[in-house]
Structure 1
Amino acid sequence: MGTGYLLKNGCVLSMDARIGQFNRADVLIQDSLIAAVQPNIEVSDADVVVIDASDMIVMPGLVDTHRHMWESLVKTAGTNWSLPVYLQNLYYGAMGSKLRPQDSYIANLLGSLEALNAGVTTVLDWSMPYSPDHTDGLIRGLQDAGVRAVFAHGVPGETAYWNRESTLSYPENIRGVKERYFSSSDQLVTYGLAIRGPEFSHWDTTVQDIQLAEELDAICSMHVGFGSWGSADRSISRMYEAGLLTPRINVVHGNTMGMDEFKMLADNGASLSVTPEIEMMMGHGYPATGYFLEHGGTPTLGVDVVTSTGGDMFSQMKFALQAERSRTNELLLAQGEMPGELSLQSSQVLRFATSAGAQALGLERKTGSVTPGKEADLIMIRTTDLNLFPVHDPIGAVVQFANPSNVDTVFVAGKLVKQNGKLLHVNLDDIRNKAMESKQYLLTQYRMSDTDRIVFS
């Protein structure tokens, strides 16, 4: 048996309706699992380490259902990029194609550590590797960081693949990747497919890719229904008519889909990943949070690209919450009315970022709530920090006040990966040096437009 932990006297937000919320309770971790959640747990086992959780909020680790992890190497570069400029600089023969396998490795390691530091214990990495060696590097980066992840395996970011007439699909070795790295579903890093979907490949290719996901028992994620083409394409309707919508399908963005298409998604158990900050900034469209809710779905949240925003979910919870409140408030104001109770509650958004995210990734049996029997993916947030103290509403504190600096402690599958505000078991100086080497290499291989070069001077 491994070391156990007893988190004493914390404010527990379980995100499990059967367990509820405790102003003061204990959480017992044994091996990799949550063993008990209740006040006044007593243990006599000498192998159980007691951690004082008073003045802490104890809750599930945050779940990010859509992030391009390798972009940690070009962090902050795209704060002024629209979606077309972003694609021009990073894909279709641009910077992403210049990565070496070792760059892919350090990029995913760095991005995963950024996530863990911010209390994100689970992430879907929407990857676009350029070779089998790049695939190996990306997967090893996730594994070595110790994050829980879905490695969503995509195709190279080249125009030969990414166009509406493309019939190119995955190489045969994709089955070998599944067998080599993902032979068991009972591991920290599991397998998914990041397919182009009907708006970025031929329809027959989309059907083939979805069938491949079924064969491989993999989550199938795609960018669909956003930008100026989203409303015209009616991709979700087409997938629905073809019988392709299932709980395996994860739609990213969906900003400009038809209202009936949101119901099609919800009725068939497919998930929606909203990345509110990036969508509002880059031109995807207004976040679809409320539209999906109104048609019976529960959205999930993602960071998307750290070229343009920080890799934490606190920001995305706030953006999702206030953008949707603004949308519904504007409708009332246009009618000459003032809002009464706000249309979206903090508790709903916290669910988007925890239990709903876990369900969307097929991981609800393992993570997403503080539930006995689930794996211990937990975070502890300090409530004595000046931006939080004094706390009246713990859920509101997490969703609308907290930031990564408040994350004191992080467990992933019962392993302590951050404590007293510091990541454990990593040599950050060495990782920074390797990441800087990769960044400098990329800059020698590809230069952005003149308007963007100042970012890298």
Structure 2
Amino acid sequence: MHNEGYMLKNGTVLTLESSLGSLKRADVVIRGNRIEQIAPDIQLHAGGYEIIDASGMIILPGLVDTHRHVWESLVRTAGTNWSLPVYLQNLYYGGLGSKLRPQDSYIANLLGSLEALHSGVTTLLDWSMPYSPEHTDALIRGLQESGIRAVFAVGVNGETEYWNRDSKLVISDDVYRVKKQYFASDDQLLTMGLAIRGPEFSHWDTTVKEIGIARELNAICSMHIGFGNWGAQDRSVTRLYEAGLLGSDLNMVHGNKMATDEYKMLADAGASLSVTPEVEMMMGHGYPATGFFLEQGGIPSLGVDVVTSTAGDLFAQMKFALQAERARVNEQILAEGQMPGELNVLAGQALEFATTAGARALRLDDRIGRLKPGHAADLIMLRTDELNLFPVIDPVGAVVQFANASNVDTVFVAGRPVKRHGKLVGVDMERIRRLAQESRDYLASQYTLSDADRVLYS
């Protein structure tokens, strides 16, 4: 029998759609690549649907990671003791990234994308720094093969000639080939972005030029900005505002040290802010800007950032963002001699950061980020019978505060199951591990890490 689609039966459904809300017990019908119905006790009048028992499951939109360097999965765990300068020394500026061959880039992006899917991340922005057109093609192939939905944000390589405030070197014209060859249509799983250095890592004229190129290509334009001592005094957002360059197609990353009025400039312009709280607190970017942006009318999205230093799931990032912001405000209240009452940020907001806000940041909110008829069937199902979740009183709180990647039972992307019963579908993991190990060993033979981490390759 031809499979028309799927019915997910009797799950707890967190739609993140205001007109539908959260349903304690409901069905989700998937037809083709889209959601057809969401309601309790749906009676199908046509055959050909596979019925999936969702009893004891929480069904929610697939998580959206708006800032990740996907290739770094190949050297995961290397950076657990790295500050930001040490990370840059080891990964870029002549480090490991410069030693990648195209075949290493391919398996790195395939491995990293599969990690994301396994963890319930159905969409991500891959902030990429390829070293040649061949590397670019290989990185895209890795994303394509995984089946993930992604924005491939292509940038310049990580050499210091590009990454300094005097650099007038503009991104390669190869971006036009990439657009034509891979991203001629926006109605596909992979869409195009530009990963630019921005005014803190290139000449101002370069920034203006590259924003213009991104807009010519109709591509999201993402940049690291306003963090660490490098960006604390620059007021780069103010310069962009005064030049009339801010817009909803700009995705700012980190923003820990920006001035208060600059968060409002971003929010008013509809620009997005990707907060990567765990890595920011660890590596020295500054305190996560979650609350600073919220207070000025923005809604941040979340990213893992560097999987050399932390696992590639967004459950941890929801918790880090939530507790860091709560701690910031609680400390202010304690300093005034009071005790906190209602917490200033709620679990449901953190879930929005990882779903609807992420979709909006990537300009994909017309198709993903919430569950509603007509939207793409990008969704995940979490088992609640495991010891870390059972019994559930508050399903939103369960997702944000208690769940982890091990609870992800099923993942759909565009109506296709890519993970079922806790296992990725149609993936030859022996092949993946073999290729990744070969590439990892090759990189180890080409570059020696800093003294503190040399034990990794001994």
TM range (shorter): over 0.9
- Please name the residue that 1:382 is paired with: 383
Q: Does 1:257 align with 2:258?
A: yes
The sequence identity of aligned pairs, in percent, is 67
Please list the CA deviations of residues 37-62 of structure 1 after superposition, one character each: whole Å capped at 9, or x if unmatched: 10011114331000000100000000
Please list the CA deviations of residues 87-137 of structure 1 after superposition, one character each: whole Å capped at 9, or x if unmatched: 000001111000000000000000000000000000000000000000000
The residue type paired with residue 260 of structure 2 is: M
Give 3-state SS (helix, strand or coil) of 2:360's partner.
helix
- Please name the residue that 1:409 is paired with: 410
Give 3-state SS (helix, strand or coil) of 2:329's partner.
helix
The residue type paired with residue 233 of structure 1 is: D
8 Å CA contact 1:2–1:30 kept in 2: the answer is no
The residue type paired with residue 275 of structure 1 is: T
C-alpha distance in structure 2 between counterparts of 1:20 and 1:39, whole Å:
13
The residue type paired with residue 383 of structure 2 is: R
* Cα offset, 1:171, TM superposition: 1.6
The residue type paired with residue 65 of structure 1 is: T
- Please name the residue that 2:312 is paired with: 311
Give 3-state SS (helix, strand or coil) of 1:239's partner.
helix
- Please name the residue that 2:162 is paired with: 161
C-alpha distance in structure 2 between counterparts of 1:32 and 1:370, whole Å:
13
Please list the CA deviations of residues 317-353 of structure 1 after superposition, one character each: whole Å capped at 9, or x if unmatched: 0000000000000000000000000010000000000
The residue type paired with residue 340 of structure 1 is: G
- Please name the residue that 2:176 is paired with: 175
* Cα offset, 1:2, TM superposition: 5.5
Please list the CA deviations of residues 255-293 of structure 1 after superposition, one character each: whole Å capped at 9, or x if unmatched: 000000000000000000000000000000000000000
Please list the CA deviations of residues 190-244 of structure 1 after superposition, one character each: whole Å capped at 9, or x if unmatched: 0000000000000000000000011000000000000013221100001000011
Mapping of residues 206-355 of structure 1, within 5 Å: 206-355=207-356
- Please name the residue that 2:144 is paired with: 143
8 Å CA contact 2:3–2:49 kept in 1: the answer is no
- Please name the residue that 1:122 is paired with: 123
C-alpha distance in structure 2 between counterparts of 1:64 and 1:285, whole Å:
20
Q: Does 1:50 align with 2:51?
A: yes
User: After the TM superposition, which parts of structure 1 deviate over 4 Å for at least 4 consecutive aligned residues?
Assistant: none
Give 3-state SS (helix, strand or coil) of 1:115's partner.
helix
Give 3-state SS (helix, strand or coil) of 1:296's partner.
coil
The residue type paired with residue 242 of structure 1 is: A
8 Å CA contact 1:59–1:379 kept in 2: the answer is yes
The residue type paired with residue 381 of structure 2 is: M
Give 3-state SS (helix, strand or coil) of 1:58's partner.
strand
C-alpha distance in structure 1 between counterparts of 2:137 and 2:26, whole Å:
42
8 Å CA contact 2:116–2:313 kept in 1: the answer is yes
The residue type paired with residue 122 of structure 1 is: T
| Unmatched 5+ stretches in structure 1 | none
The residue type paired with residue 212 of structure 1 is: I
- Please name the residue that 1:442 is paired with: 443
Mapping of residues 353-364 of structure 1, within 5 Å: 353-364=354-365
C-alpha distance in structure 1 between counterparts of 2:303 and 2:130, whole Å:
20
C-alpha distance in structure 2 between counterparts of 1:173 and 1:335, whole Å:
56
- Please name the residue that 1:423 is paired with: 424
8 Å CA contact 1:5–1:49 kept in 2: the answer is yes
8 Å CA contact 1:226–1:256 kept in 2: the answer is yes
Give 3-state SS (helix, strand or coil) of 2:398's partner.
helix
The residue type paired with residue 12 of structure 1 is: V
The residue type paired with residue 300 of structure 1 is: S
C-alpha distance in structure 2 between counterparts of 1:121 and 1:134, whole Å:
24
Give 3-state SS (helix, strand or coil) of 1:233's partner.
coil
Give 3-state SS (helix, strand or coil) of 2:233's partner.
helix
The residue type paired with residue 97 of structure 1 is: S
TM-score (norm 1): 0.99
C-alpha distance in structure 1 between counterparts of 2:452 and 2:422, whole Å:
38
- Please name the residue that 2:15 is paired with: 14
* Cα offset, 1:366, TM superposition: 1.2
- Please name the residue that 1:74 is paired with: 75
C-alpha distance in structure 2 between counterparts of 1:20 and 1:173, whole Å:
45
C-alpha distance in structure 2 between counterparts of 1:43 and 1:209, whole Å:
51
* Cα offset, 1:173, TM superposition: 1.9
* Cα offset, 1:170, TM superposition: 1.5
Give 3-state SS (helix, strand or coil) of 1:232's partner.
coil
Give 3-state SS (helix, strand or coil) of 2:165's partner.
coil
Please list the CA deviations of residues 62-82 of structure 1 after superposition, one character each: whole Å capped at 9, or x if unmatched: 000000000000100000000
C-alpha distance in structure 2 between counterparts of 1:2 and 1:157, whole Å:
46
8 Å CA contact 1:76–1:309 kept in 2: the answer is yes
Give 3-state SS (helix, strand or coil) of 1:431's partner.
helix
Give 3-state SS (helix, strand or coil) of 2:232's partner.
helix
The residue type paired with residue 182 of structure 1 is: F
TM-score (norm 2): 0.99
C-alpha distance in structure 1 between counterparts of 2:457 and 2:21, whole Å:
48
Residue correspondences, number? 457
- Please name the residue that 2:108 is paired with: 107
C-alpha distance in structure 2 between counterparts of 1:229 and 1:151, whole Å:
26
RMSD, aligned CA:
0.7
* Cα offset, 1:155, TM superposition: 0.4
C-alpha distance in structure 1 between counterparts of 2:406 and 2:45, whole Å:
34
The residue type paired with residue 165 of structure 2 is: R
* Cα offset, 1:3, TM superposition: 3.4
